[in-house]
Chain A
Amino acid sequence: MATDLHRAVTVQGLTRSFDGRPVVDGLDLTLRAGQFTALLGHSGCGKSTLLRILAGLDREISGTVLVPRRRAVAFQAPRLMPWKKVWRNVLLGLPGKPGRAVAEKALDEVGLGHRSGAWPKTLSGGEAQRASLARALVRDPDLLLLDEPFGALDALTRLKAQRLVAELWQRRGCTVLLVTHDVDEALLLADRALVMRDGVIAYDTAVDLDRPRSPGDPALAGLRTRLLAELGVTEGEFAESATA
């Protein structure tokens, strides 16, 4: 049990290069089981690359990567197969021949049970993203990898989706790695926030605050400023440029 608690994911000296340019460069990372971790970083800093490696989708790597056998991914775009009804999308790739009821249970969990027989083209952006989440959850993963899953949603839908993910995580208790470029999202959801820079985890902090949290909780203001600084943004900037 003790080892489980400490090591759902272990990465040591991970390097991944594209055309001789290292994007992940000797990265070390340990994720504790059941922990919700947010991975922040500039666009193009290698967050998706790291996530794809943890998902087992990219094997052209050097270094050590230990991940749970049961893992699931939700991408920024829902990536549903347009030629399969929603429930068939949810069941795609599951071993055995699970019935539609299995899919519908997972869809119910994300509030999408009524759309199980729909074509993906008829779903709204938020619905498609939830279907993609159901498809990940139905695999009952020990490690859930989320690559900016709310990035393409409007602000209102994003809030709802964030709340849904928080609920699902609390109910399931799986390890979650959420890639995002939104500091507030990280502070709303995560136990721990990482900042990736120059191919390594450059900053690592715990987010200690009782749940449920509300967006922009003043208790997190200090951490927010710190994380923004790590990302190279100083908070006065907007005000300054507005008066300039």
Chain B
Amino acid sequence: MTVDHAPPSAPPDISPLPDVESLTPARAPGRVPSVPRWLRRAVGPVLLLVLWQSCSATGVLPADVLASPGTIARAAGELVGDGTLPTAMGVSLRRVAAGLLLGGVAGIALALVSGLSRLGEDLVDAPVQMLRTVPWVGLIPLFIIWLGIGEAPKVALIALGVAFHLYLNVYAGIRGVDARLVEAGESLGLGRWGLVRHVVLPGALPGAMTGLRYSLATAWLALVFGESINADAGIGFLMNQAREFFRTDVIVVCLVVYAFLGLLADALVRTLERLLLQWRPTFTGQ
């Protein structure tokens, strides 16, 4: 349309003014689609790998300091091919699972006792908070003396780390439940058990999920520590063996496996949170 005289409904004046800002749509329609996010995020790691490989190839990075990515990939292939790595992973995963289960049950049970009753709080919370100040890794020698050098001290170490994190977060979650919601539940005729079930426990769930995430991270850490002492199977055992023979490639493979397992656990917790905490009115990022 051409306008050569002022029309009855003149278009608004959009000439620039000082102190006036034009707010454009966040995603301009019809713009050329930019590089996908995952591709952009992949660039950094890939560049790093290329740099590493070229350093190894030119001899700047000797193999007994750090093997090249290529060698590591080959080592990984061999370890998977002859079944060493899957077996070791199976052993390590069983340890983590056992530790998580034991520590989880203990931590949550204690948190419920001290979170739900004053008496329980007085009896449980003080000793737990006191023990918390002891660095749990420092308990390894005691565990060895008490439990020998078999599976027991490794599982116990993992269980301990898990139990503390779950205890602290579930307890805090229970005590952080909005008292006004509890009062509302009371006014609706909920009894003590009903309040616990419908108000307190769901309210403590976000805290429990945080606890789960921390305790999983701790479980891997405890696994690494536990397996570095006298393991005869598992990923830690593979690493110890590799150390004896200066196989930096195998050590890196084991580290990657640890990292991968940690990532997997995190993804699991995230999925769980998405399913269980979808009611939460929180900021989810833009």
Contacts and interface: CB of A to CB of B under 8 A. Distances in A.
A41 interface: no
Nearest to B201: A83
A199 interface: no
Interface in B156-183: 180-181, 183
A195 B183 CA distance: 26
A135 B188 contact: yes
B186 A83 contact: no
B190 A119 contact: no
A73 interface: yes
A75 B180 contact: yes
Contacts of B184: 73, 75, 79, 81
A72 B187 CA distance: 7
B144 interface: no
A56 B186 CA distance: 9
Nearest to A82: B279
Given A55-B187, A121-B279, A135-B188, A83 B205 contact: yes
Given A82-B281, A119-B279, A77 B180 contact: yes
Contact of A81 (B181, B183, B186, B278): B181
Contacts of B187: 55-57, 72-73
A47 to B, nearest CB: 16
B103 interface: no
A92 interface: yes
B207 to A, nearest CB: 13
Interface string B195-227: 000110011010000000000000000000000
B180 A121 contact: no
Contacts of A73: 184, 187
B202 A92 contact: no
Nearest to B183: A57
A81 B180 contact: no
A167 B39 CA distance: 60
Contacts of B194: 93
A120 interface: yes
Given A75-B184, A135-B188, A82 B198 contact: no
A160 interface: no
A81 B280 contact: no
Interface centre among A52, A93, A135 (most CB of B within 10 A): A93
Nearest to A73: B187
Contact of A92 (B183, B190, B205, B280): B190
B202 A83 contact: yes
A70 B61 CA distance: 80
A79 B180 contact: yes
B281 A92 contact: no
A84 B198 contact: yes
Contacts of A139: 188-189
Interface string A119-144: 11100000000000001000100000
B185 interface: yes
Given A75-B184, A92-B185, A93-B185, A83 B190 contact: no
A102 to B, nearest CB: 14
Contacts of A75: 180, 184
A231 to B, nearest CB: 27
Contacts of B199: 81
B64 to A, nearest CB: 56
B174 to A, nearest CB: 14
Interface in A80-100: 81-84, 92-95
Contacts of A120: 279
Interface in B227-281: 278-281
A119 B186 contact: no
Contact of B198 (A81, A95, A119, A121): A81
A21 to B, nearest CB: 21
A82 B186 contact: no
Contacts of B205: 83
B78 to A, nearest CB: 50
Contacts of B180: 75, 77, 79
A55 B187 CA distance: 7
Given A82-B279, A83-B203, A83-B205, A57 B186 contact: yes
A81 B202 contact: yes
Interface string B32-65: 0000000000000000000000000000000000
20 contacts: A55-B187, A73-B184, A75-B184, A79-B180, A79-B183, A81-B181, A81-B198, A81-B202, A82-B279, A83-B203, A84-B202, A92-B185, A92-B188, A92-B198, A93-B185, A93-B189, A95-B189, A119-B278, A120-B279, A121-B281
Interface of A: 52, 55-57, 72-73, 75, 77, 79, 81-84, 92-95, 119-121, 135, 139
Given A57-B183, A82-B280, 12 more contacts: A55-B187, A75-B180, A81-B181, A83-B205, A84-B198, A84-B279, A93-B190, A94-B188, A120-B279, A121-B280, A121-B281, A139-B189
